[in-house]
Structure 1
Amino acid sequence: MSNHSTLQKDFYRESGKCLSSFEIWKKCFSPNLHFIYLLRTTQKHPRSTFLGKIWRLILRHYQIKYGFQIYPETQIGAGFYLGHWGSLVINPKAKIGKNCNIAQGVTIAQANRGKNEGVPEIGNEVWIGPNAVIVGNIKIGDNVLIAPNAYVNINIPSNAVVMGNPATFTINQNATSGYINNKID
């Protein structure tokens, strides 16, 4: 899978097979996959170029249409998967690892004051449930499941299940087993 594009790796997560450019285009009837296609295409073009400006305008239109507030500057690893479309906010300075699933209603935000001032850094193979909030200069480890409606403003080690408001976690070596399908290498 190493010789495939990031876009192909993202779409592999949905289908479990490597798709041609035409097959990827056909799957863009799904709003979440269409947005990933537009996001990855926009990320290929520097902001200062003519194509970069055009793609950012197109992406902005679909951010509003679909409810995804994800910017091309956001560092997102390959194998990115949006489970459902609508009402999703990710700070452009946030970092997200590979093979991450994000559900609807999630906010990954910057804290502007306090001991955790800054933005989150999320590891690989993290599943983030509906309406979860991750905020501040915190680190989320690899193989972490963040339950629906969790409010996370603390560091979370790898191999953990996170739940509640305020967040608490338990160590679980199989935290995302069955939640993250079709992982890429």
Structure 2
Amino acid sequence: MENDQKAANAHSTAHDPNKCTIVLVGIMGAGKSSVGRRLAQALGIPFHDSDDEVEKAASMKIPEIFAKHGEEEFRRGESSVIKRLLDEPRMVLATGGGAFMNEATRQLMQEKAVTVWLKADLETLWRRVSKKGGRPLLKKQNPKQVLADLLTEREPVYALADYEVVSVDGPHKITVEAVRSALNI
């Protein structure tokens, strides 16, 4: 009984948003980096973006990694970077849109952190991603349909996150406050 109680306490402590890393998951354009930076600042803790960390580790930009080594190799590097970051002290971590799709990476996030799905509708996502280039998965015919298909495929997996917060099409501080409210932090 005592060991069960210790395990329960360890589990609840590991998932206390006031004590552990907060991982933002969701599809490209959901606002993980923008919201994450502001959330970390509000909480007074470090912010890391797994995409930035992958680029540093590979000494090349993500589109270059995709072009030279393919998506599979990118995902391998992404997994390794996320594993390393989850062993560091508490932070807000924004992940790439596909990171949570990897079962082993997702399991690690759920064991070591609190996961928050930033959810947005297709039109909001499309407005955001169409402003920026450099999205390798959208370098295809009819990129909006590609985004819609990715969203349909990924939403059931994103729904496995500990929390779901709508990323509104407005000032990022609104979504930051929604995350803080959901996590009670």
Shorter-chain TM-score above 0.5? no
Given the two structures, how large is their TM-score scaled by the length of structure 2? 0.27
Given the two structures, how large is their TM-score scaled by the length of structure 1? 0.27
Higher relative contact order (CA 8 A, sep 6+): 2
Structure 1 or 2: larger helix share?
A: 2
